């Protein structure tokens, strides 16, 4: 983990410093929703295209199942783009979100996802879409049937099929992106390793992504990017913290890693002296997933 006393040493290795990006590094805007009295965080999440843990992290003091009428809910619909080349499909596991750079690097389409549970994690790395299928048949693996002997050999297309209506297969055997018949699992670690989308999202995604599209699965809990003259940071739970956030709305504070600190300094570039370290520490402690301003530069007329 990073020690703030090592800041000067890191500056030496970062010279020469970079300048702020000319283009914005975000998509969407934060939404505020007033509860009707019949809402849950799950229902609000699906309405606005976000995942459950995203909603839990952004609203840690709200009972996720019993929300009083008139309660103001923050919907995390603004996202700093992952700090990686903007091409193909980028799956960021800690925020449980997918970015599809299909229409150009400055206009990604983004969807919340469900990912592999503990012990059956979605792998990190680079692959591609090798084939697609509508109305797939689900065939549980031998491991699944050993764990649950009641599982059938196969499940045909229909409402009981865990794959939903569409699937896009990775170059990695047994992994892919598909729909689901259990949409409450989106934004949670619940799958056997595959990536799940809401039923309404998988159909859109399926038709926009061609076979051969590059896929990169990354583990980036902290993202940083310029939006105009403001540098934003977005801190999500680390993979090991997801279940804590889902259950309690808060996590143990593990601090920043060296790589995360380097990312902040690199993105700040020549404006590193403007960094608000108090806000950075607060964001890391809370892990709300909401973009916060950690530096701002004056714009000369």
The set of catalytic residues is 178, 194
Q: How far is it, in rounded angstroms, from Cα 169 to Cα 225?
A: 31
- Cα 181 → chain centroid: 21
Torsion angles phi and psi, residue 268, rounded to 5: -70, -35
Closest by Cα among 86, 43, 82, 48 to 64: 43
Closest by Cα among 290, 210, 215, 224 to 263: 224
Could you tell me which residues are beta bridge partners of residue 80?
26
**Cα Rg of the chain, angstroms:** 20
User: CB-side exposure of 256: number of CA atoms within 13 Å?
Assistant: 24
Could you tell me which residues are beta bridge partners of residue 225?
232
Q: Give the number of other CB atoms < 10 A from CB of residue 107.
A: 10
- Cα 247 → chain centroid: 18
Residue 37 belongs to what H/E stretch?
A: none
Alpha helices, H only, the chain: 7-14, 41-48, 52-58, 142-147, 199-208, 242-248, 258-268, 277-286
Strands 292-296 and 230-235: antiparallel
Strands 176-178 and 195-196: parallel
- Which residues make Cβ contacts (< 8 Å) with residue 246, sequence separation at least 6? 52, 53, 56, 188
CA torsion through residues 84, 89, 91, 95, sign: positive
């Amino acid at each position: 983990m990073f020690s703030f006393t090592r800041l000067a040493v890191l500056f030496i290795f970062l010279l020469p410093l970079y300048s702020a990006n000319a283009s914005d590094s975000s998509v969407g805007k934060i939404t505020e929703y007033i509860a009707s009295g019949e809402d849950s965080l799950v229902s609000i999440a699906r309405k606005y295209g976000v995942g459950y843990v995203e909603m839990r992290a952004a609203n840690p003091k709200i009972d996720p199942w019993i929300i009083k009428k008139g309660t103001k809910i923050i919907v995390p619909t603004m996202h700093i783009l992952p700090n990686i080349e903007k091409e193909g499909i980028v799956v960021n596991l800690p925020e449980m979100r997918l970015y599809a750079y299909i229409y150009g690097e400055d206009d990604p389409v983004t969807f919340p996802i469900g990912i592999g549970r503990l012990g059956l994690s979605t792998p990190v790395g680079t692959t591609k879409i090798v084939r697609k299928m509508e109305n797939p048949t689900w065939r549980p693996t031998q491991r699944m049937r050993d764990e649950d002997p009641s599982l059938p050999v196969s499940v045909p297309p229909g409402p009981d099929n865990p794959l939903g209506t569409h699937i896009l297969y990775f170059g990695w055997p047994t992994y892919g992106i598909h729909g689901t018949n259990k949409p409450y699992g989106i934004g949670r670690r619940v799958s056997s390793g595959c990536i799940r989308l809401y039923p309404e999202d998988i159909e859109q995604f399926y038709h926009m992504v061609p076979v051969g599209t590059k896929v990169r699965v990354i583990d980036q809990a902290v993202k940083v990017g310029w939006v105009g003259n403001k540098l934003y940071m977005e801190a999500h739970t680390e993979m090991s913290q997801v279940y804590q956030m889902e259950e309690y709305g808060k996590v143990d504070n593990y601090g920043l890693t060296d790589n995360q600190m380097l990312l902040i300094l690199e993105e700040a570039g020549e404006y590193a002296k403007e960094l608000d370290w108090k806000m950075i520490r607060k964001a890391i402690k809370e892990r709300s997933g909401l973009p916060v301003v950690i530096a701002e530069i004056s714009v000369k007329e």
